[in-house]
Structures are given as structure tokens and as C-alpha cells.
């Protein structure tokens, strides 16, 4: 039986604060991206909070860190991406950081500390969200070392809870 998670709606001021912090971290105006009718909820888990926006698990808040999930298609469409070869995929999907030798190319520019999506070269599907260790110019010249610190990946605890929430939404149980 899956663990129970406490789910509740956020007050307007608290929701705005989370969206503002997430906008700053992701470099996207989330209020503009998501429209004017936004209902924000929090799902408390053992590792942090999953922020639901209009019933979709779009953000994760762990202590003071906030980042987009792999389900946030609106950000994924225009966020910088790090494309990795298929040999790196199982490692990244097990929580490993993205190393320079496994990178095929970069799509978009980023600065040190920015969030990027990590995608596989074959399908272009997002497999992780990470924080860059270097800016794109430096990363382009690297042949070894960590380029992206993995913060959320397919198969992690966050993914499991989100998948369960998304399935419930799809089945009309939420």
C-alpha cells in the first residue's frame, strides 16, 4: 500500500511566494506561462513537498530548494537542455551526476547554477533535472568532470509520488 501524503491548498500569498521563487530559480515567468487561473496545492512527503499547479505535479520544494519536475512540459519546451548518449542514460536514471564524456551536445545557453533538463539523444525525452556546475561556454570545452548535478530523475522518490498523483488525475480520482 503506498504511503499517505498530506495534501492541501495553499493560500494565495503563499502560492505567489512559491511561484515567484520558482520563477527566479527557473528563469521563467511562471505566472505568465501558466495563465491567470492558477490553483496551487502542496503534497507533503517524507522528502519534501510536491507543488501541484492546477492538479499537475509541476514543482518540487526540498527545504529551501525549489525546482521543476519532469512533468513540467511548459518549461521543458524552452529550457536549456543537456543531451546525453544512451550509455549515460542508466547512470543518470540511477541518480548519477552528468559527466562531460557522456554529453553529446547542449541546446540553449546556461550559467553556473541554472537548472537544465537532461535528455537522451535517441528520443529527446527528459530523464533528469539538474543544476549546472559550469556555464555553457566552459562546459562545451570540458572533456572530463561533472557538468550537471542531478537533482531529480526518472525513477527517484519524487518521480514515484508524481507518477501516482498523475495516474490518479488521469483516472479522475483527484
| pLDDT single digits (tens) 114-145 | 999 999 999 999 999 999 999 999 999 999 99
DSSP bridge pairs for 153: 128
pTM to 2 decimals? 0.88
CA atoms of 15 and 21, how far apart (whole Å): 10
Phi, psi of 74 (to 5 degrees): -65, -40
CB 124 within 8 A of CB 150: no
Distances (CA, A) of 78 to 7, 33, 122, 125, 149: 30, 11, 19, 14, 20
pLDDT digits (tens, 9 = 90+) for 63-99: 888 999 998 888 898 899 999 999 999 999 999 999 9
Amino acid at each position: 500500500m503506498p504511503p499517505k501524503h498530506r495534501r492541501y491548498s495553499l493560500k494565495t500569498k503563499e502560492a505567489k511566494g512559491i511561484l515567484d521563487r520558482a520563477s527566479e530559480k527557473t528563469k521563467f515567468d511562471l505566472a505568465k506561462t501558466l495563465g491567470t487561473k492558477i490553483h496551487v496545492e502542496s503534497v507533503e512527503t517524507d522528502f519534501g513537498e510536491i507543488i501541484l499547479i492546477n492538479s499537475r505535479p509541476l514543482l518540487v520544494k526540498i527545504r529551501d530548494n525549489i525546482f521543476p519536475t519532469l512533468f513540467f512540459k511548459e518549461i521543458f519546451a524552452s529550457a536549456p537542455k543537456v543531451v546525453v548518449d544512451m550509455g549515460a542514460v542508466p547512470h543518470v536514471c540511477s541518480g548519477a551526476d552528468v559527466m562531460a564524456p557522456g554529453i553529446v551536445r547542449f541546446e540553449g545557453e546556461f550559467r553556473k547554477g541554472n537548472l537544465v533538463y537532461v535528455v537522451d539523444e535517441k528520443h529527446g525525452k527528459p530523464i533528469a533535472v539538474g543544476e549546472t556546475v559550469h556555464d555553457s561556454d566552459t562546459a562545451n570545452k570540458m572533456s572530463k568532470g561533472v557538468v550537471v548535478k542531478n537533482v531529480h530523475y526518472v525513477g527517484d522518490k519524487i518521480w514515484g509520488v508524481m507518477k501516482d498523483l498523475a495516474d490518479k488525475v488521469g483516472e479522475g480520482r483527484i
